[in-house]
């Protein structure tokens, strides 16, 4: 039995998230259906991140095992031949037998994209959060520095998460702006459910002058979701990259 690691890109617009659900289209269901079609056997997959409905990925990592004698590039070609056009395998590798896409990850990077203009987008309507009212990016940048480091992030956790450990270490935050497009990039050892979207929603309130940039420490200390801002919509969120301490050998 060989263990493989996939690097996936997908448009999450029409999917109810990563995880398989009854009677709803998901990324996992589409991938496992494609694997079954190719290998003529049921194959289970494990992802690094269980992205929510409408969330996209450029660097999702997925592990699976199979005894079919396919080379990595053959898996890539075969999967891209049968997967929906909204899902693409960027790379396939052979990895260690005990590789676990979720538990072996020691960091993830997400990006959130905002289109700050009055006119609503047509082509990118499912890929950005359009905000008509001008945002003060400098205030948002200043405020976001307060979340760097190790914190209990309960105040930014979505409902019904059931997380036993709410502590996350935020390692890096970057902001960039190209015309009306604002990109917020965040890297951490782990993320809670809807954490990035809750943080972005709070920062947007700061960018609109509804909160002070110095409000973040008190919000974190409260450990109460009601103290933070609203949850930003999913279509602006992208999983960019997953970090691993050791990488498997490419076949």
Alpha helix stretches (DSSP H) within the chain = 27-39, 72-82, 137-144, 195-207, 216-222
CA–CA separation, 4 vs 78, rounded Å? 14
Burial class of 22 by CB neighbour count within 10 A (0 to 12, 13 to 18, 19+): exposed
Contact residues for 124 (Cβ-Cβ < 8 A; gap 6+) = 115
* Helix, strand and coil in the chain, % to nearest 5: 25, 30, 40
Catalytic positions, written as ranges: 52
CA–CA separation, 150 vs 189, rounded Å? 10
Do 7 and 60 touch, CB atoms closer than 8 A?
Answer: yes
């Amino acid at each position: 039995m060989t263990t493989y690691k996939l690097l996936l890109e997908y448009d999450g617009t029409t999917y109810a998230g990563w995880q398989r659900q009854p009677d709803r289209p998901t990324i996992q269901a589409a991938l496992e259906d494609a694997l079954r079609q190719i290998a003529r056997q049921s194959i289970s997959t494990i992802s690094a991140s269980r992205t929510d409905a409408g969330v996209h990925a450029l660097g999702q990592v997925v592990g699976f095992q199979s005894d079919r004698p396919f080379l990595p590039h053959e898996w890539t070609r075969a999967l891209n031949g049968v997967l929906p056009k909204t899902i693409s395998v960027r790379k396939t590798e052979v990895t260690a037998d005990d590789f676990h896409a979720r538990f072996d990850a020691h960091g993830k990077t997400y990006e959130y994209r905002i289109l700050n203009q009055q006119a609503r987008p047509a082509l990118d309507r499912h890929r950005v959060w359009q905000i008509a009212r001008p945002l003060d990016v400098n205030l948002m940048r200043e405020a976001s520095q307060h979340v760097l480091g190790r914190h209990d992030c309960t105040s930014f956790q979505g409902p019904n998460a059931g997380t036993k450990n709410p502590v996350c270490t935020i390692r890096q935050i970057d902001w960039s702006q190209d015309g009306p497009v604002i990109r917020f990039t965040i890297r951490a050892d782990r993320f809670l459910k809807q954490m990035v979207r809750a943080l972005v929603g709070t920062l947007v309130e700061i960018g609109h002058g509804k909160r002070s940039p110095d409000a973040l420490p008190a919000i974190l200390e409260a450990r109460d979701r009601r103290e933070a801002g609203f949850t930003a919509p999913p279509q602006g969120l992208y999983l960019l990259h997953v970090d691993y301490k050791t990488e498997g050998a490419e076949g």
